[in-house]
Structure 1
Amino acid sequence: MSGQTVDRPGAEGVYTGVLLILLATLCIVLMNTCAKASSVAHNPVEMVFYRGVVALGLLVPYMLATRPLSVFRTRRIGAHLYRAAVGNVGVGLVFWAYSLLPMANATALLFSAPLFVTALSPLLLKERVDGGRWMAVAVGFGGILLIARPSVNLLADPASMVGVGAALCIALVDMALRNLGRTENPLTTVFYFILGGVVLSAPYTLIYGTLPDGGILPWIAGIGIFTAIQQLAKTAAFRFAEASFLAPYTYTAIVWAALAGWLLWREVLTVPVLAGTGVVVASNLFILRRTGFHPGKSA
C-alpha cells in the first residue's frame, strides 16, 4: 500500500492523512489489546480466524458499496497468496507476542520491522543501502537488545524472540507490498490478505478450536472490528500523504500500548524498554531521512 499515490496534496490533505494514520495506529493497538485479552481462552490461530471472519463481514459490504466489482479481481494471485501466507503468520506471531509480553514491550519489538526492511532490501529488492543506514540498523538492533534483554534463559523463555519474529514477517510483508502496490488497489490487497488468513486458519479452528464464550466474545469481536477500521483508515491515509511522511506518526503506538497495559494489566513501562524504544525509533527516523524523507515534501 505504500506505493499508493497521493490524490490530494496540500496542507489540508496532509493533515487529514495524519489524523487517519493516528486513528489507524490507535486501532492497531486496540486490536492487539483485544488479542491479549482473548489469549486466556484462544490461541493465535483461532484469533486469526475469528479476526478475519469479523473483518470480512465489515470490509466486504464496504467494498461492494463504494467500489465496482472489479475491486475483487486480480491477475496476481500468486503475489497475494505469498503476502497472505507471510502476513498471517506474522499476525499470529504478533498475537502470540502480546499474550507473552507486556503491551509496551511487544509494541516496541515490532518497531524493528523497518530495520529488517533496510537490512534485507539489498538481498530481496536489489536496493543499495549506504553505510549510514547500515550503522542505523546496527544501532537499532542494539535498541532491540535493550528491550529483549537476552539472557542464558532465552531458549527456555523465548517470548521476545516471538516479537522479533513477528517484526521480521511484517518486514517481509512491507517488501511484498512495495511490489503489489504498483498494480493493485489497496482494498484488493487487504481483501485477499484477510481472506487468506481465514482460509489458512479455518482447518485448525474448525477441528480443534472452541467458540468464544460470552465473556471473551466482545474481545474477539474487537479484534475483527479494529482490524477493519485500521485497514480502511490506513488505506485512506495514503491517499492524502506519502507513506514516508506518515511513518513517524505510527510511533505513537508505544503511548497507547503503555496506557492500555497499565489500565488493564497494571503493566509498568520500564527504563530499559523506554530507552530501547527511543533507540529503535531514532534509528528508523534516521533511515527515513537517508532515503529522502522530508516532512514538508508531501505538502
Structure 2
Amino acid sequence: MDRATAKGVFLILLATLCIVLMNTCARVSSIHHGPVEMVFYRGVVALSLLVPYMLATHPVSVFKTRRVGAHLYRSIIGNIGVGLVFWAYTLLPMANATALLFSAPLFVTALSPLLLREHVDGQRWMAVALGFGGILLIARPSMGLVTDPASMVGLGAALCIALVDMALRNLGRTEHPLTTVFYFILGGVIFSAPYTFTVGSLPQGHLILWLAGIGLFTVVQQLGKTAAYRFAEASFLAPYSYTAILWATLIGWLLWREWVSVRVVAGSAVVIASNLFILKRAR
C-alpha cells in the first residue's frame, strides 16, 4: 500500500468512527430532543464550523451553484434520512441500527435499473436477495412489527441514504463536494427551524456538549470522506466503512451494556458479504 492510499484508508476509518460518534451523541441527546430538533442543532453547529473552513480554503465561488433543484432534492431526502437515522438509534441497540444501515448499497443496486438506467446482472440480483435475507435476520420481522416498527425506521433511513447516493452521482459531475455538503446542511437547518422554534425546546445544559458533538462529528466525517477519495478510489475504500459495526458494538456495550446477539452478527456478516460481492462485480 503506497503512502497516498494509506492516507485514504486512515481518513475513511476516521470518518467512519465519526459517523458512529455522531449517532452516539444523537442517541444521548434524544432523552430531551426529537430527531427534527437534532437535525436543526446539528446543522447550526456544523455550519458554524464548515463555512469558515470553506472561506479559508476555497474562493467564494465554492458557494455558487446553478443546480438549485438538484440540491433541494438531495437536501430534502438527505435530511429526512438523517432524522430517521437519529430516530433509529433511539429505538434500537447501536449495533442493530448500524447493521440495518448497511442495507443502503443493496437499495442502490436494486433501484439503479429504474432510476439510473444501469444494468444489473443476475449474480448481483442474487447478492441483493441474499443481502435482504441478512436484513431479515437482523430485523426479525413478526406480527409485532406493526406495533413496534423500529427496524422499519432503520430501513427507511437506509433507503434515503441510497436515494442520496444516487443523487450524488449526478451532482458530483458538476458540483464541488463542499458545495453539496453546504447546501445539504443549510437545507436541514431551514427545514427543521419552524418545528424547532414552535414545538421544540432549548438545549438543556447537560446536553449542550452532546448536541454540539453531533454537528462537530458531522463536519469531520464529511471532510474526512471528501479528502479520503482524493487519495484512493471509492471502491477500494468502501470495505473499510464496515468497521462502523465494530465501533457501534463497542460503544453500545460501554455506554448502555448492550450485547450483540448471534442473529445480528450473522445478519451483519451476510449483508456485508453481499455488499462486497456487488462492489466486486460492479468493478
Q: TM-score, normalised by structure 2?
A: 0.99
2:161 corresponds to? 170
2:263 corresponds to? 272
2:98 corresponds to? 107
Q: What is the aligned counterpart of 1:66 among 32, 57, 78?
A: 57
Q: What is the aligned counterpart of 1:187 among 178, 182, 188?
A: 178
1:136 corresponds to? 127
Structure with the bigger percentage of helix: 2
The CA deviation at 1:237 is 0.6
The reply to whether residue 87 of structure 1 matches residue 90 of structure 2 is no
The reply to whether residue 44 of structure 1 matches residue 35 of structure 2 is yes
2:231 corresponds to? 240
Runs of at least 4 residues off by over 4 Å: none
Q: What is the aligned counterpart of 1:154 among 145, 149, 160?
A: 145
How much is the aligned-residue C-alpha RMSD, in angstroms? 0.6
What one-letter code is carried by the residue in structure 2 that aligns with 1:44?
P
Q: For residues 53-91 of structure 1, give each alpha carbon's deviation from its aligned partner in whole angstroms, at most 9, with x where no partner exists.
A: 000000000000000000000011110000000000000
Q: 2:215 & 2:90 partners in 1: Cα distance?
A: 17
The CA deviation at 1:244 is 1.1
What one-letter code is carried by the residue in structure 2 that aligns with 1:234?
K
Q: What is the aligned counterpart of 2:115 among 96, 119, 124?
A: 124
Secondary structure, counterpart of 2:143 in structure 1: coil
2:192 corresponds to? 201
Q: 1:152 & 1:208 partners in 2: Cα distance?
A: 33
1:4 corresponds to? none
Aligned length: 283
Q: 1:142 & 1:288 partners in 2: Cα distance?
A: 18
What one-letter code is carried by the residue in structure 2 that aligns with 1:32?
N
The CA deviation at 1:155 is 0.6
1:221 corresponds to? 212
Secondary structure, counterpart of 2:3 in structure 1: helix
The CA deviation at 1:214 is 1.1
The CA deviation at 1:11 is 1.6
Secondary structure, counterpart of 1:216 in structure 2: helix
1:249 corresponds to? 240
1:3 corresponds to? none
Q: What is the aligned counterpart of 2:19 among 7, 20, 28?
A: 28
Secondary structure, counterpart of 2:125 in structure 1: helix
Q: 1:269 & 1:60 partners in 2: Cα distance?
A: 39
Secondary structure, counterpart of 1:269 in structure 2: coil
The CA deviation at 1:245 is 1.0
The CA deviation at 1:40 is 0.6
Where structure 2 has 5 or more consecutive residues not aligned to the other structure, the ranges are: none
The CA deviation at 1:20 is 0.3
1:7 corresponds to? none
Q: 2:47 & 2:227 partners in 1: Cα distance?
A: 18
Q: For residues 34-67 of structure 1, give each alpha carbon's deviation from its aligned partner in whole angstroms, at most 9, with x where no partner exists.
A: 0000111000000000000000000000000000
Q: For residues 131-172 of structure 1, give each alpha carbon's deviation from its aligned partner in whole angstroms, at most 9, with x where no partner exists.
A: 000000000000000000011100100000000000000000
The CA deviation at 1:218 is 1.1
Q: TM-score, normalised by structure 1?
A: 0.94
What one-letter code is carried by the residue in structure 1 that aligns with 2:39?
V
1:17 corresponds to? 8
What one-letter code is carried by the residue in structure 2 that aligns with 1:176?
A
Identity value in percent: 77
Q: For residues 267-292 of structure 1, give each alpha carbon's deviation from its aligned partner in whole angstroms, at most 9, with x where no partner exists.
A: 00110000000000000000001011
Q: 1:195 & 1:245 partners in 2: Cα distance?
A: 31
